[in-house]
Amino acid sequence: MAIIEIENLTYRYPHTEQPALRDLSLQVETGEFVAVIGANGAGKSTLCYTLTGFVPHFFQGELAGRVHVAGLETKDHHLEDIVLVSGLVFQNPFNQISGAKFSVYDEIAFGLENLGVPREEMPPRIERAMAMTGIADMAGRSPYDLSGGQQQRVALASMLVMEPKVLVLDEPTSQLDPLGSREVFAVIRELSREGMTVVMAEHKLEWVAAFADRVLVLADGQLALSGPPAEVLTSPLLESYHIGQTRYTSVARLVEAEGGWPAGEPLPVTLEEAEVSFKAALISPQMNAD
């Protein structure tokens, strides 16, 4: 059985007419790094809540279908038990801060205290999480006196330290600068290589292309596309779902429109692919015809 199995999930928030997720089926294997993309309101956050039990236990509403995560059928288990195996990094880092602790270090320790982790095991785990997220020098600062991007790193660290089997991240780099975003993607990639299963809602397509194993497209609450980044991110359907493309694909499409793209050469989605395919385009007969 896959670590995440969703079958025919339809979910409606309370007091709403239209379901936020519609007849969605999905399997994710252990250690897979899956990125979820989609327009505003497509259902990315709702899917994140569903994978971590907040739907239906916190948001209530009407859920049909099956959601099985890390051995638990979510609707049959309490949220307290689900969050031990499937952790969520919220879209807004402010929502992650406990409000109970006055330093970054204690904030990150908070989850471990709740887990009942022995005191002596805490420091190495906390220090590793802080190092991985680049906040080692902020241990004594108040979680409230940080920039949005710094808070986002603290939120990520406080989830990583719990070492959940499934890590769900809702736009965890939305407030990070470009290099910070790449660092976070690289850390997540590393953790997935170590066996953590990752589902990440994200708009930054260049990093999705470079780091994710698979890309899901949500459109209007439905799973519209699922496949390797090179395939999904060059799909001609993306525009109809209000999704852009990587800068590499954009430039390649311009060259293609001018008739300069070699027949059969795939459109690139990463810098490495762009280097290969633009070299091929430069030596192709079409470009040298006149």
Binding residues for Mg ion, rule: CB under 5 A, are 44-45, 91
Minimum distance from residue 45 beta carbon to ligand ATP (Å): 3
Q: Minimum distance from CB of 156 to ligand ATP (Å)?
A: 17
The CB-of-9 to ligand ATP minimum distance in angstroms stands at 13
Q: Which two tokens stand for residue 73?
A: 């059928």
Cα 148 from chain centre: 18
- Interacting residues of 98 by C-beta distance below 8 A, sequence separation 6+: 107, 110
Nearer to ligand ATP, 170 or 273 (CB): 170
Kindly tell me which residue out of 6, 9, 20, 157 binds ligand ATP, with binding defined by CB under 6 A: 20
In terms of DSSP bridges, do strands 197-201 and 86-89 run parallel, antiparallel, or are they unpaired? Answer: unpaired
Q: Pick between residue 21 and residue 161 the one whose CB is nearest to ligand ATP.
A: 21
From residue 26 to residue 45, the character string flagging contacts with ligand ATP as x (rule: CB under 6 A) and all else as - is ------------x-xxxxxx
Q: Put the strands of the sheet holding 214-219 in their side by side order.
A: 86-89, 166-170, 197-201, 33-37, 214-219, 222-227
Amino acid at 282: L
Q: At what angle do helices 271-282 and 247-257 cross, to 10 degrees?
A: 20
CB of 198 to ligand ATP, least distance (A): 17
CB 46 within 8 A of CB 22: no
Pattern 42-81, ligand ATP, x by CB under 6 A: xxxxx------------x----------------------
- Residue 41 binding: pick among Mg ion, ligand ATP, none (C-beta 5-8 Å cut-off by kind): ligand ATP
How far from 240 is each of 54, 236, 269, CA to CA, in Å? 30, 8, 19
User: Of 44 and 153, which has the nearer Cβ to Mg ion?
Assistant: 44
- Distance separating alpha carbons of residues 202 and 219, to the nearest angstrom: 14
Q: Which is nearer to Mg ion, 11 or 261 (CB)?
A: 11
* Lookup result for tokens 């499409």: 253
Q: CB 201 → ligand ATP: shortest distance, Å?
A: 6
- Is residue 11 a contact residue for ligand ATP (CB under 6 A)? no
Instruction: Name the residue type at position 275.
Output: E
Give yes or no for a contact between 173 and 207, defined as CB atoms under 8 angstroms apart: yes
Q: Which residue, 53 or 172, has its beta carbon nearer to Mg ion?
A: 172
Measured distance CA(35)–CA(209) in Å, rounded = 9
Least distance from ligand ATP to the Cβ atom of residue 212, Å? 17
Q: Which is nearer to ligand ATP, 129 or 238 (CB)?
A: 238
Q: Are 53 and 11 in contact (CB under 8 A)?
A: no
Q: Closest distance between Mg ion and the C-beta of residue 153, in Å? A: 19
Nearer to ligand ATP, 39 or 251 (CB): 39
Residues that bind ligand ATP (CB under 6 A): 13, 16, 20, 38, 40-46, 59, 91
